[in-house]
Amino acid sequence: MASVPPPLDLVLAADWVSPSVARDKVRTWLRTNGWSSPHLDDMVLAINEAVSNSIEHGYGVGPGDPAGTGTVELRGEITDHRATFTVRDRGVWRPPVDDPKSTRGQGIRLMRACVEEVSVDGSADGTTVVLRGSRVPESQESASADGRSG
């Protein structure tokens, strides 16, 4: 029986360098724990979007703005050959705008296209997004962890 790997825990600044940091750390952590493409790429893209949304929408920090004062917490866990990530901010909850003419507001749709499950919980205390990936076959996970694929 495979052991459960230690979780990935990051606290990121409300800054536009943070999505890049999250992508690099998550990619390395997933590879170390046996993930390979396309599972890994889809999860990294979904996490990038969730972290970016926390910075832009939760804290109101635009791409050209200086860093905000808040933080984004990112936790990754692997159980039963599935990776689950929680992205949490303490910013201001802003419900998504449902305007079919807008080119904005596609982040949740993008996350849903990349992972099996997405939940978004917004409240006065901030926003929590949970991303749960598809089950990775044990043979792929073991082979990648042993360096035979990936």
pLDDT of residue 139: 55
pLDDT of residue 102: 63
Please give the C-alpha separations between residue 126 and each of 20, 52, 90, 93, 140, in angstroms, as whole numbers. 22, 14, 4, 5, 37
pLDDT tens for each residue of the chain, 150 residues long:
567 889 999 999 999 999 999 999 999 999 999 888 778 999 999 999 999 999 999 999 988 899 989 999 999 999 988 999 999 999 987 766 666 666 666 888 899 999 999 999 998 899 999 999 988 766 544 444 444 343
pLDDT of residue 92: 87
pLDDT of residue 105: 66
pLDDT of residue 54: 94
pLDDT of residue 113: 94
Q: What is the pTM of this model?
A: 0.85
pLDDT of residue 32: 92
Return the SS3 of 131. Answer: strand
| 109 Ramachandran zone, left/alpha/beta (phi>0; psi -120 to 50) | alpha
